[in-house]
């Protein structure tokens, strides 16, 4: 599993930071969370083809999170995109998408297969290897997301070797969590296998401080959270439903997460990002500032 930060600015981009867009790569999936203006170009700079996209999760319809959608669709159309792009977003996403499709109509955009899902809190994707959950956040019709890889049962190879069990369909049974009999001997799943915990990534942008954000981040391996302000501007953060670095760190701490990556960094802190990091680290030592084109493996 890999995360590529394609955009990490707040409402106004800087020379170093583009608007919000994060790409999660997992097996055959390329899941884009938000698509700020210029995201398609960020893909090319990162040397990733946007035609690999399988899903788009939209947190909310503020321009800095969605203005890149028409351009991305047009390029996918030009590139002969042949998958069905599955889109998830808050109520009204279907209307907003239809405006885009009507406004920028072309034979290329018309060719793209799109499936739009207006979501509610809870499980929104359930695949064999992973699920995605959504929670409503404290911002304008905004959702946060939680990607959960499912736990995997693996064969304890040294046990199997010792027991003299030969590879074959019988191992599949163990992998499915069923006890087996080998040469008249009962082999228990708990002895012959072990469970590898699935990885969890939480996406929390934009929001004021709320318990739903902590729920999304619960025991996550990686929390990616907005951090628009420092505590000195907590009044602005509260009024505009955004987080301070300290609040984002508090969410990660309360959720017992492993690592926190901060983004949606305001240009007012350009060159002073160490202050953002310092404030977060005081509460949650494993805090990091995300940068455009940073890639992290999980």
Task: Just list the catalytic residues.
Answer: 64
- The residue (of 76 and 144) whose beta carbon lies closer to Zn ion is 144
Number of residues that bind Zn ion (CB under 5 A): 3
Residue written as token pair 């060159």: 271
Candidates 105-113, 125-133, 205-213, 279-287 — which segment interacts with Zn ion by CB under 5 A?
A: 205-213
Q: Is 62 in the site for Zn ion (CB under 5 A)?
A: yes
* Contact range with Zn ion by CB under 5 A, out of 47-55, 61-69, 252-260, 290-298: 61-69
Tell me if 149 contacts Zn ion by CB under 5 A.
Answer: no
Contact 173, 164 (CB under 8 A): no
206 binds Zn ion (CB under 5 A): yes
Minimum CB separation of residue 264 from Zn ion in Å reads 6
Q: Calculate the alpha carbon distances from 237 to 128, 175, 209, 211, 254 in Å.
A: 39, 49, 9, 16, 20
**Measured between alpha carbons, how far is 23 from 292 in angstroms, rounded to an integer?**
11
29 or 37, CB closer to Zn ion? 37
Q: Which residue is nearest to Zn ion (CB)?
A: 62
Q: Does 146 bind Zn ion (CB under 5 A)?
A: no
Given the rule CB under 5 A, which of 39-47, 100-108, 128-136, 198-206 is the region that contacts Zn ion? 198-206
Compare residues 174 and 230 and give the one whose CB is closer to Zn ion.
230
Interface map 10-49 toward Zn ion (x if CB under 5 A): ----------------------------------------
Q: Per this entry, what is the length of the chain?
A: 298
d(CA 53, CA 21): 13
Closest separation in Å from C-beta 19 to Zn ion:
8
User: What is the closest distance, in whole angstroms, from the C-beta atom of residue 67 to Zn ion in the complex?
Assistant: 11
Closest-CA residue to 58 (of 100, 107, 108): 100
Residue 287: closest CA among 271, 268, 269, 274: 274
Is residue 64 within the footprint of Zn ion (CB under 5 A)? yes
| Token pair 């080998």 in the structure block, residue | 182
Q: Shortest gap between Cβ of 94 and Zn ion (angstroms)?
A: 20
The two three-digit tokens of residue 108, written as one number: 């290329």
Please calculate the CA angle 58-60-62 and round it to the nearest 5 degrees.
Answer: 120
Q: For residue 278, give the 3-state DSSP assignment.
A: helix
CB of 144 to Zn ion, least distance (A): 12
Strands 152-155 and 193-196, by their bridges, are antiparallel
Which range binds Zn ion by CB under 5 A, 64-72, 124-132, 196-204, 266-274? 64-72
Residues 6+ apart with CB under 8 A from 136: 121, 142, 143, 212
The residues binding Zn ion (CB under 5 A) are 62, 64, 206
């Amino acid at each position: 599993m890999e995360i590529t930060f394609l955009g990490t600015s707040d409402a106004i981009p800087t020379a170093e930071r583009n608007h919000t867009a994060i790409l999660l790569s997992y097996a055959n999936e390329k899941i884009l969370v938000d698509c700020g203006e210029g995201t398609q170009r960020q893909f090319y700079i990162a040397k990733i083809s946007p035609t690999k996209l399988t899903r788009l999760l939209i947190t909310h319809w503020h321009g800095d999170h969605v203005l890149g959608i028409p351009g991305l669709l047009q390029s996918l159309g030009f590139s002969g995109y042949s998958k069905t792009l599955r889109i998830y977003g808050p109520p009204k996403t279907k209307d907003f998408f239809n405006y885009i499709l009507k406004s920028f109509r072309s034979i290329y955009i018309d060719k793209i297969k799109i499936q739009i899902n207006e979501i509610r809190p809870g499980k929104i994707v359930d695949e064999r290897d992973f699920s995605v959950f959504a929670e409503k956040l404290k911002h304008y019709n905004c959702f946060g997301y939680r990607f959960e890889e499912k736990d995997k049962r693996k064969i304890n190879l040294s046990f199997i070797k010792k027991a003299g069990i030969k590879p074959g369909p019988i191992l599949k049974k163990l992998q499915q969590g069923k006890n087996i009999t080998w040469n008249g001997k009962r082999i228990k799943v708990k002895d012959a296998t072990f469970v590898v915990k699935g990885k969890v990534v939480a996406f929390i942008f934009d929001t004021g401080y709320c318990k739903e954000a902590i729920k999304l981040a619960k025991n996550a391996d990686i929390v990616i959270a907005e951090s628009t302000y420092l505590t000195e501007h907590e009044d602005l953060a509260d009024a505009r439903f955004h987080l301070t670095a300290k609040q984002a760190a508090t969410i990660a701490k309360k959720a017992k997460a492993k690592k926190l990556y901060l983004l949606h960094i305001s240009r007012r802190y350009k060159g002073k990002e160490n202050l953002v990091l310092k404030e977060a680290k005081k509460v949650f030592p494993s805090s990091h500032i995300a940068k455009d084109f940073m890639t992290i493996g999980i």
